[in-house]
Amino acid sequence: MHFTYRKLMVLVSILFLILITVMLMLFNNRYYLPPLPFDNLSKKEVYQTARDNSGMTYLTTNRGHNWYIVRGNALDGSNELIAQLKQQGYTFKEQMGAAYMFASPDESETLIVSSQMWTGKFVLFQLPEEIRLKKANVGESEE
């Protein structure tokens, strides 16, 4: 098979366009983001919801837990979580790694909230399904 310079340039151009198209599709769907601990929202939906809201934002309820996200680092997320639960009468007791412990308003129960950094810019929080943060933003998934 004999390739002329012109044929070779057309082939290289086509391969380059295919590569760019694939890269744009991957980027647009946010495939490069880490996996989520729940499966009823896509990475793209979560990213857009977190990007478009400030403060604590409700994402979804999945397998008996409410999921929230905060844009910021771990300290920003911690401060937002403590402030949100304080408004509902909970008292912050201690942090053990990625878990936060709160006393219920009547001090009869302990609420444990787990957290995880989803990316360097977003923190996910997992609360029991019966605990709903009243002052949190509501993401697109529930509107």
pLDDT given for residue 23 in this prediction: 80
User: Exposed, middle or buried: residue 6 (CB in 10 Å: 0-12, 13-18, 19+)?
Assistant: exposed
Q: What domains, with CATH codes, occur in the chain?
A: 33-142 (3.30.310)
pLDDT given for residue 142 in this prediction: 45
Which two tokens mark 32? 């490069």
pLDDT given for residue 26 in this prediction: 64
Cβ(127)–Cβ(133) below 8 Å: yes
Q: Rounded distance, CA 84 to CA 87, Å? A: 5
Q: Above 50 in pLDDT, residue 20?
A: yes
pLDDT over 90 percentage in the chain: 67
Q: Rounded distance, CA 67 to CA 49, Å? A: 12
pLDDT given for residue 71 in this prediction: 94
Q: Rounded distance, CA 70 to CA 25, Å? A: 26
Q: Above 80 in pLDDT, residue 139?
A: no
pTM above 0.85, yes or no: no
**DSSP string for 1-27:** ----HHHHHHHHHHHHHHHHHHHHHHH
